[in-house]
Amino acid sequence: MKNRNQKPEGGLPRRSEAKAGKQKAETAPKKNSAPLLILISAPSGGGKTTLCDLLLASQPQMTRAITCTTRPPRPGEKDGVDYHFLAAGDFLKRVQAGNFLEHATVYGNSYGLLKSELLGKLRAGRDVLLNVDVQGAATIRAAAMAEPELRAALVTVFLTPASVEILEARLKKRNSDAPAVIQKRLAVAKQEVSQWKNFDYLVISTSKPEDLRQTLAIVAAEKMRTARSLPPEF
């Protein structure tokens, strides 16, 4: 007797299998919002580098922006992965052409963030993560206002401990700076923290898991904004 559940000859699926496959295709998740340009800033010792590492590890669609620099590569560093390494003359030409969103000179070496670096990744559908200090955040925020795509994608987050005492304890725990250096960092941090109102979001740092949870909540909420969402298919 022929098994009624047996597939027809030629390997064609049963009607139930075909229907299930169709339903699976119809319910497959798809991207329904525009990518984000997420800028995270914090005072020295505030934990932004750790938070950024955790974000990148938990979000496969997120990538970091790669900065240009004129300093030579250190052992193990790769061009286009760690930095875009440029000759000083090439860097200057890009500055004069207005290619950088933000640039600065630190200890004799130039650093800059190309507009094309951000736009290329955003247009490819990737969320882009920026880890910058408070001064750099202000420069990028102002420059992005002149670029409609960047302005639409930009979300700024300020991360800080709840008090200067907690920040001081963190800096001391790192055991990497002399007491005088720590006090200098704290003086700068007080000035930086005063800028928190200029950011879209304030995250009070407590623990690594909680900092990540709050930041992921921000990312999720920003992706659901109607201004960034694609219309439902009805």
pLDDT tens digits, the chain, 234 residues: what are they?
444 444 444 444 444 444 444 443 333 345 678 999 999 999 988 999 999 999 999 999 999 999 999 999 999 999 999 999 999 999 999 999 999 999 999 889 999 999 999 999 999 999 999 999 999 999 999 999 999 999 999 999 999 999 999 999 988 888 778 999 999 989 999 999 999 999 999 999 999 999 999 999 999 999 999 999 888 888
CA distance 175 to 182: 10
CA distance 76 to 58: 25
Neighbour-count burial for 130-141, b at 16+ CB within 10 Å, e otherwise:
bbbbbebbbbbb
Q: Where are the domains of the chain?
A: 35-223
Chain-centroid distance, C-alpha 71: 24
Neighbour-count burial for 163-172, b at 16+ CB within 10 Å, e otherwise:
eeeebbeebe
CA distance from start to end of the chain: 46
Q: Is 35-223 in CATH node 3.40.50.300?
A: yes
CA distance 222 to 35: 10
CA distance 141 to 199: 9
Tokens 């740092």 belong to residue: 205
Question: What is the residue type of 104?
Answer: A
